Amino acid sequence: MIQRPPAFAFGNGVIWARYGNGKKESTTFSGWSNCYLGSNDPYGETLHSILSLVRAKYLSIDRFVSVVGSFVALQFLLVLKPKTVHFFDMNPQQVQWAKMLCELIQISKTPQEYISRVFARQVRPFERRLGHGGPTGDRLTHLNQHRFLRLPIAQRLRSDTLQRLSASAQETYQRVLIPLQEGDQPGWFTPTLLPC
């Protein structure tokens, strides 16, 4: 059976969707449970869009405006060179999450350090232990990320990360990221985070 796309109506900060099965659902896009803490966009679609921009040589732009959402816009900023960047979102918690991620990026010298701080586990020692002989080589990948997440929490790294964050980002890190690092699955839009 082919399902029609939903019809949308907006009102009072709530988006209502009526699906082909007649079911009416709403999303308020407010609170932590409605945040996209990781990418929610299809990777192929994102890559296609980025490659289209590169092919068109449309990389230097005046203004880049994007909803925070799953923060897929960061992927675009790898190739785009905007003079000004504006992020917005109707969910204040989504904005808090994005600000914390930006602070984590700023205090991290490498992508490995960023992933280490997000997951409170050391990437470099993990990759050194992998060596060159396995199917994943010596890198953290989607094939070995679950093994990485079974490592114990690096308490010293977590403490160092918290000390470097602003008060607002510390609150977000403690409220959201620490429970996810510990393996809690709160039943949100994003029940867990994965590094790859």
The model's pTM is: 0.78
pLDDT in tens, the chain (196 residues): 444 444 444 444 444 444 444 555 556 678 888 888 888 788 899 999 999 999 999 999 999 999 998 888 989 998 999 999 999 999 999 999 999 999 999 999 999 999 999 999 999 999 998 876 566 678 999 899 999 999 999 999 999 999 999 999 999 999 999 999 998 877 787 777 888 8
The answer to whether 73 and 66 are in contact (CB under 8 A) is: yes
Helices (H) and strands (E) in the chain, counts: 9, 5
Q: Which of 123, 152, 156 is nearest to 140 (CA)?
A: 123
Looking at 130-176, which runs of residues are DSSP E strands?
A: none
Domain boundaries, the chain: 1-30, 36-90, 91-183
Tell which residue, 88, 90, 73, 70, has the closest CA to residue 27: 90
Going by C-beta distance under 8 Å and a sequence separation of 6 or more, which residues neighbour residue 91? Answer: 29, 30, 31, 34, 35, 68
